[in-house]
């Protein structure tokens, strides 16, 4: 019979002693456990668990103190929040959910410890050897032909509205710069090829460059932090370091999250909100020449209910909140629900074949308005959590998967669904599935939708005291 390798992270204050108690009482428990003693179950980071599976563990057991008994008051409350989210994510990526378990054991509960361990080992044993770690010598990617794009609603843009909004936008920007209220306006312009792209306007006479159209896809809030730190500080003579930014409804939610996370203060930004009719899908470069097709709405816009930004200093245009064009409809031939309904093994195949294409250019991370760590955890010189490898046919695939899943986890409850990551990806990896799945999970578990108001993310920051309470 297959004997699984199980790694158990035990809190030194309770479950580790609980294991001792079980030993002293001479209770029988399986010998499959390799124990790691930690100061608190809250110390067990998602990276630790992912990398444990990457090293070949068949199951990971995290045991902490009962709720209300944490040596550090609230460490286990955090565990109670994090672990279920991580479990959802790993399950989505193709791990059987029974392979990761969180439970509570106090120092005196030797019998309880023994029972949990026996049960967990039996469960994992029944599942057989884990399929998670990728060995590049055995990796056999399941390349697939491109699935046909489904038809999706054609976008019908009111050009008159767009033109009027552009004129009003230019006028607003001019006034703001003229009066010295802001030092810079971050907006959109068209380049000589006619492509819309981000632009930075500093002088009133340059405001004629600004445009507002159905191709304003970029989320400009990602530039705010950098720009605010680059400009001379306020109070420095006559300079004003306030920055104006043009936002759509989705982008405005990013501002809420950034404010909640204290990236900058409200008075440092002037928000020019644009009523938005939706953005059209631009054919991503995939190696072919694309012929001009009828404009099609982007995936995020099909599901969007907001038309006006949730926060703004001035609103240009005004559109009624609309029901999503369709909730079930997708631009893709594979919807999130369909992907979730697949077997763990099929999901594993799906994600491995997707991540195998990743070249670690980090465009997803760089384009994300929420990814603003000065040094990314996954790109440290000391390769703390992930190595530097990024080939294909399995080379560096464990590293790439840890990066993508880890990044998605860090965005849980923070991702506002602008899909910039997926748009920026040159390799066509459908990253937004991960973010959408976790957004759903956060809404289901915590009734939390990122950026709708200025509230800190419940997953990492806020504890209600109810965590883990049955």
Partner 1 sequence: MSSRMIPGTTPTVISKNSLIQWLDQIASQMRLIAPRDIDGNILYRQVGNAAEITWDYTRPVLSIKDVFFPPTEVLFTIEKIGNEVNIRETSPEGEQVLFGVRPCDAHGLQALDALFIATQPIDPYYMRRRENTTLVGLACPEMGATCFCTTMGGAPDDPRHMDLMLHAIEDVYLLEVVTEKGAFLLERYPLVIEPGIQPNTYIRPEITTERLAYPALDSWPEQFNQLYWEEIAERCLSCRACAYVCPTCRCFDVRDEIQSEQGDNKVYERIRCWDSCAGEAYRRIAGGHNPRAAKGERLRNRFYCKYYYFPQQYGPAACTGCGRCIDVCPAGVDITEILHFMAGIAMVEKQAQVEVGRI
Minimum CB–partner distance for residue 403 and partner 1 (Å): 13
- Confirm or reject binding of residue 192 to partner 1 (CB under 8 A): yes
Shortest CB 365 distance to partner 1, Å: 8
Report angle CA 408, 35, 43 to the nearest 5 degrees.
40
Count of H-run helices and E-run strands, the chain? 14, 9
Question: Does position 218 bind partner 1 by CB under 8 A?
Answer: yes
Binding residue for partner 1 (CB under 8 A) from 24, 28, 191, 318?
191
**Of 2, 285, 453, 464, the one binding partner 1 by CB under 8 A:** 285
In angstroms, what is the minimal distance from the CB of 141 to partner 1? Answer: 8
Question: Per-residue DSSP letters for 48-77?
Answer: HHHHHHHTT-SEEEEEEPPTT--TTSSHHH
Give yes or no for residue 198 binding partner 1 (CB under 8 A).
Answer: yes
Contacts of 268 (CB under 8 A, 6+ apart): 228, 234, 241, 242, 243
Nearer to partner 1, 14 or 130 (CB): 130
Residues 332 to 391 in contact with partner 1, rule: CB under 8 A? 353-354, 357, 359-363, 365-367, 375, 379, 381, 383, 387-391
CB of 143 to partner 1, least distance (A): 5
Using CB under 8 A as the binding rule, the residues of this chain from 407 to 436 that contact partner 1 are 420, 423-424, 426-428
> Minimum CB separation from partner 1 for residue 172, in Å?
21
Q: Are 421 and 44 in contact (CB under 8 A)?
A: no
Q: Is 330 in the site for partner 1 (CB under 8 A)?
A: no
Query: Which is nearest to 213 in space by CA: 156, 166, 245?
Result: 166
Binding status of residue 288 toward partner 1 by CB under 8 A: yes
- The smaller minimum CB distance to partner 1, of residues 130 and 201, is found at 201
Total residues at the site for partner 1 (CB under 8 A)? 52
Contacts of 179 (CB under 8 A, 6+ apart): none
Q: How far is the CB of 199 from partner 1 (least distance, A)?
A: 7
Does position 223 bind partner 1 by CB under 8 A?
A: yes
289 binds partner 1 (CB under 8 A): yes
Question: Binding partner 1 by CB under 8 A: which of 1, 31, 140, 145?
Answer: 145
Among 3, 73, 286, 346, binds partner 1 (CB under 8 A): 286
Pairing, β 243-247 against β 33-38: unpaired
Neighbours of 202 (CB within 10 A): 12
List the interface residues with partner 1, window 19-78 (CB under 8 A): none
Residues 6+ away with beta carbon under 8 Å from 269: 224, 228, 242, 243, 244, 245, 255
User: What is the Cα–Cα distance from 210 to 176, expressed in whole angstroms?
Assistant: 14
Q: How far apart are CA 408 and CA 230, in angstroms?
A: 28
CB 185 → partner 1: shortest distance, Å? Answer: 12
Single out the residue of 143, 160, 318, 328 in contact with partner 1 (rule: CB under 8 A).
143
To partner 1, the closest distance from the beta carbon of 426 in angstroms equals 4
Alpha-carbon distance of 160 to 248, in angstroms, equals 18
Q: Is 287 an interacting residue with respect to partner 1 (CB under 8 A)?
A: yes
Strand intervals (E) in 223-338: 243-247, 269-274, 314-316
User: Whole-number minimum distance, CB 115 to partner 1, in Å?
Assistant: 33
B/e letters for 253-266, b = 16+ CB within 10 Å, e = fewer, are bbbbbbbbbebbee
Q: Which helix or strand (DSSP H or E) is residue 184 part of?
A: strand 184-190
Closest CA to 61 of 105, 1, 106: 105
Q: How far is the CB of 428 from partner 1 (least distance, A)?
A: 5
Structure token pair of residue 144: 């697939």
**Smallest distance, partner 1 to C-beta of residue 48, A:** 17
Instruction: Please identify, among the stretches 16-24, 162-170, 198-206, 306-314, the one whose residues bind partner 1 according to the rule CB under 8 A.
Output: 198-206
Tell me the window of 14-22, 145-153, 322-330, 410-418 that interacts with partner 1 (CB under 8 A). 145-153
Quick one: 241 or 354, whose CB is closer to partner 1?
354
Q: Over the range 15-48, which residues count as b (16 or more CB within 10 Å of their CB) and which as e?
A: bbbbbebbeeeebebbebbeeeebebbbbbebbb
Binding site for partner 1 (CB under 8 A): 143-147, 191-200, 218, 222-223, 285-289, 353-354, 357, 359-363, 365-367, 375, 379, 381, 383, 387-392, 395-396, 420, 423-424, 426-428
């Amino acid at each position: 019979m297959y004997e699984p390798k199980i790694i158990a992270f035990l809190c030194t204050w309770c479950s580790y002693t609980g294991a001792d108690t079980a030993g002293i009482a001479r209770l029988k428990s399986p010998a499959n456990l390799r124990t790691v003693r930690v100061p608190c179950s809250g110390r067990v980071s998602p990276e630790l668990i992912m990398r444990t599976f990457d090293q070949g563990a068949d199951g990971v057991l995290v045991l902490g103190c009962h709720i209300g008994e944490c040596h550090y008051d609230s460490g286990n409350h955090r565990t109670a929040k994090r672990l279920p989210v991580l479990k959802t994510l790993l399950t989505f990526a193709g791990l059987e959910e029974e392979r990761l378990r969180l439970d509570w054991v106090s120092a005196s509960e030797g019998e309880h410890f023994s029972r949990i361990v026996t049960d967990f080992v039996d469960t994992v044993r029944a599942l057989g050897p884990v399929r998670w770690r990728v060995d590049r010598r055995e990796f056999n990617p399941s390349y697939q032909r491109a699935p046909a794009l489904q038809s999706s609603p054609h976008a019908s843009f009111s050009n008159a509205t767009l033109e009027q909004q552009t004129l009003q936008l230019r006028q607003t920007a001019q006034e703001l710069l003229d009066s010295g209220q802001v030092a810079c306006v971050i907006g959109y312009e068209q380049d000589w090829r006619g492509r819309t792209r981000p632009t930075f306007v500093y002088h009133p006479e340059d405001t004629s460059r600004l445009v507002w159209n159905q191709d304003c896809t970029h989320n400009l809030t990602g530039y705010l932090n950098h720009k605010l730190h680059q400009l001379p500080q306020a109070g420095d003579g006559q300079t004003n370091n306030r920055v104006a930014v043009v936002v759509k409804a989705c982008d405005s939610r990013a501002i809420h999250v950034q404010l909640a996370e204290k990236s900058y203060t409200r008075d440092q930004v002037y928000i020019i909100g644009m009523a938005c009719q939706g953005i059209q899908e631009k054919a991503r470069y995939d190696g072919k020449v694309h012929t001009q097709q009828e404009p099609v709405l982007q995936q995020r816009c099909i599901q969007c209910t907001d038309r006006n930004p949730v926060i703004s200093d001035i609103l240009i245009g005004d559109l009624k909140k609309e029901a999503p064009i369709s909730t079930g409809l997708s631009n893709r031939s594979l919807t999130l629900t369909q992907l979730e309904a697949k077997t763990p093994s099929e999901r594993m195949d799906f994600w491995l074949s997707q991540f195998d294409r990743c070249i670690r250019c980090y465009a997803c991370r760089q384009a994300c308005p929420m990814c603003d760590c000065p040094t990314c955890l996954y790109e440290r010189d000391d390769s703390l959590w992930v190595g530097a490898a990024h080939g294909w046919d399995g080379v560096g695939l464990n590293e790439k998967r840890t990066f993508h899943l880890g990044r998605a986890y860090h965005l849980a409850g923070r991702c506002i669904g602008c899909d910039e990551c997926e748009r920026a990806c040159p390799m066509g990896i459908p990253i937004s599935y991960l973010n959408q799945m976790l957004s759903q999970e956060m809404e289901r578990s915590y009734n939390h939708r990122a950026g709708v108001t200025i509230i800190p993310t419940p997953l990492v920051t806020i504890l209600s005291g109810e965590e883990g309470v049955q």
